[in-house]
């Protein structure tokens, strides 16, 4: 483990999720293309986690770059409280058509998209004069790092210092599954029992990451479980919020994970792949009935929420160009699961691999270690070993996963799986 040496770190930068006393100093990247990061020393790395899951098609995807460049010369930004523009209109129309929802509210990132969903849900009940005091979330959830998003996320090392500031959330178990799991049905049944009990308290909303919890350890659940959750949520008259910040835009193997899971949520949060990974932007989609609940001459009905860069026209141009690519070649995301399967099957035979699992662009497993978890050092060791072989991974403690951009070639995927296999031998 690296000793903190100030000479290896920039004297004015503060990196996210990074403890400088123990982390490896960040590498300086000079450019990127497709799935490759080019470093200043001339070496390359395959970005096998899409740079925190945002780089959807590939780095520097030419059509998105061109769309942004063209937009900079036309309209770079305008206050969205008083103006609208064609980019925002087209994007809203297309995303509503794809998701089956009706209204789109813009923000800046995944956390804000979740905050907005929570605020819409909460205030909708308030505006009706029927305030509901409970929000339900799932064990292991991660919804972002702002306060509301932290509150609905699993309480953890990340949120511990802020615990007194986080609102209470009722939590149901998340019956994650994997290849060869023979107890999933029983755990699903137990989770549904808990959820049913929790929903006896009037509930404003239930929030979940459809099919795949990302930061919570690439934890995957079955569509039938989510459909049963949705039935209970409907019976209780609560709102269902789908956080598709990670799973949206083909990452689950369908354009949206809700489609693959058979869910029809009331609210949906999107970000990450939205702009193809080029620009920070989040959106929250809502049903028309929710929008209607905010209309009236009483000013207190208004959703008093907004960000300076709401509906940034460059972000809209990037998002439209990214959607063009997804619509033109759905096989690019539909095919990822089959392309990665043989590599994961081969790894699954390794004695240090447990609970192999796969969904869309995500192929994951747990390291067989005595003390699994985010602080387990084995994942970091594996990260160093694969990096020596030209592959960039960022395991979640003892959970190792690939989540590559769609542009990743079969040869590059092979290189990733082989690098992991060799690293496992060396661990
Ligand atoms: C499911 C989910 N929701 C919300 C977020 C927060 O997004 P952001 O990091 O853009 O704030 C993330 C980030 O990883 C996520 O995976």
Residue 209 Cβ contacting ligand 1 at under 6 Å? yes
What is the extent of the structural domain holding 345? 6-60+335-426
* 65 within a domain of the structure (yes/no): no
Indicate if 193 and 86 belong to the same structural domain: yes
Is 33 exposed, middle or buried, given 0-12, 13-18 or 19+ CB atoms closer than 10 A?
middle
In ligand 1, which atom is closest to the CA atom of 146? Answer: 11
- What does the DSSP assignment read for 234-287? HHTT-EEEEE-TTTTTTTTSSSSHHHHHT---SEEEE-GGGGTTSS--EEEEE-
Residue 110 Cβ contacting ligand 1 at under 6 Å? yes
Indicate if 278 and 342 belong to the same structural domain: no
Nearest CA to 325 out of 32, 87, 149, 94 is that of: 94
Bridge partners, 34 (sequence order): 59
Residues 265-322 pLDDT 10s:
999 999 999 999 999 999 999 999 999 999 999 999 999 999 999 999 999 999 999 9
Report the pLDDT averaged over residues 362-374.
Answer: 93
- 153: which 2 tokens? 């996320």
* 68 within a domain of the structure (yes/no): no
Q: 53 C-alpha vs ligand 1 centroid, how far in Å?
A: 9
What single DSSP character describes residue 7?
G
* 260 within a domain of the structure (yes/no): yes
3-class SS letters over 220-247? ECCHHHHHHHHHHHHHCCCEEEEECCCC
Mutate to test the pocket of ligand 1, among 156, 271, 283, 403 (most ligand atoms within 8 A of CB): 271
Residue 144 Cβ contacting ligand 1 at under 6 Å? yes
Q: What is the pTM of this model?
A: 0.97
Report the pLDDT averaged over residues 124-141.
Answer: 97
Q: Which of 328, 359, 376 is the last residue of a domain?
A: 328
- 267: which 2 tokens? 């609210």
Indicate if 323 and 340 belong to the same structural domain: no
Indicate if 322 and 407 belong to the same structural domain: no
Indicate if 238 and 137 belong to the same structural domain: yes
CATH label of the domain that carries residue 398 = 3.90.1150.10
Quote the pLDDT of residue 372.
87
Helix 313-328 × helix 62-72 angle, to 10°? 150
Q: How far apart are CA 340 and CA 351, in angstroms?
A: 20
Quote the pLDDT of residue 3.
52
CATH label of the domain that carries residue 196 = 3.40.640.10
Please give the tally of structural domains in the chain. 2
Three-state SS for 172? strand
Quote the pLDDT of residue 1.
45
Indicate if 393 and 262 belong to the same structural domain: no
- Mean residue pLDDT across the chain: 97
197 φ, ψ to 5°? -65, -45
Residues 42-72 pLDDT 10s:
999 999 999 999 999 999 999 999 999 999 9
- 191: which 2 tokens? 């989770």
Residue 109 Cβ contacting ligand 1 at under 6 Å? yes
Q: 299 C-alpha vs ligand 1 centroid, how far in Å?
A: 31
């Amino acid at each position: 483990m690296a000793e903190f040496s100030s000479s290896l770190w920039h004297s004015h930068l503060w990196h996210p999720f990074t403890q400088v006393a123990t982390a490896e100093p960040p590498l300086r990247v000079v450019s990127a293309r497709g799935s490759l990061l080019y470093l200043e020393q001339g070496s390359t790395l395959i970005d096998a986690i899409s740079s925190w899951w945002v780089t959807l098609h590939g780095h520097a995807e030419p059509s998105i770059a061109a769309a942004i460049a063209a937009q900079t010369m036309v309209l770079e930004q305008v206050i969205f409280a008083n103006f609208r523009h064609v980019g925002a209109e087209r994007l809203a129309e297309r995303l509503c058509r794809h998701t089956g929802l009706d209204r789109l509210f813009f923000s800046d990132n995944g956390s804000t998209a979740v905050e907005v969903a929570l605020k819409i849900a909460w205030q909708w009940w308030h505006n009706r004069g029927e305030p509901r005091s409970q929000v339900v979330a799932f064990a292991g959830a991660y919804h972002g790092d702002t306060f509301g998003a932290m509150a609905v996320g699993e309480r953890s090392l990340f949120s511990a210092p802020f615990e007194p500031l986080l609102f209470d959330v009722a939590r149901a178990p998340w019956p994650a599954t994997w290849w060869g799991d023979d107890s999933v049905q029983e755990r699903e049944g137990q989770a549904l029992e808990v959820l049913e009990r929790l929903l006896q308290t009037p509930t404003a909303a239930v929030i979940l990451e459809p099919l795949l919890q990302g930061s919570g350890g690439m934890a995957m659940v079955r569509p039938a479980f989510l459909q049963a959750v949705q039935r209970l949520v409907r019976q209780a008259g609560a709102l269902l919020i789908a956080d598709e910040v990670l799973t949206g835009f083909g990452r689950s193997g369908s354009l949206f994970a809700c489609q693959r899971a058979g869910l029809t949520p009331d609210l949906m949060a999107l970000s990450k792949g939205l702009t193809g990974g080029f620009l920070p932007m989040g959106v929250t989609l809502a049903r028309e009935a929710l929008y209607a609940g905010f209309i009236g001459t009483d000013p207190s009905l208004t959703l008093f929420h907004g960000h300076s860069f709401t509906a940034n026209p460059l972000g809209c141009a990037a998002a439209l160009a990214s959607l063009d690519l997804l619509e033109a070649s759905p096989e690019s995301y539909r095919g990822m699961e089959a392309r990665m399967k043989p590599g994961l099957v081969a790894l699954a035979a390794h004695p240090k691999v447990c609970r192999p699992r796969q969904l869309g662009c995500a192929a994951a497993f747990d390291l067989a270690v005595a003390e699994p978890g985010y602080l387990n050092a084995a994942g970091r060791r594996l990260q160093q070993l694969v990096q020596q072989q030209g592959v960039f991974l960022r395991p979640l403690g003892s959970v190792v996963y690939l989540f590559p951009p769609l542009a990743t070639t079969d040869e590059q995927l092979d290189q990733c799986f082989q690098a992991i296999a060799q690293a496992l031998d060396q661990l």
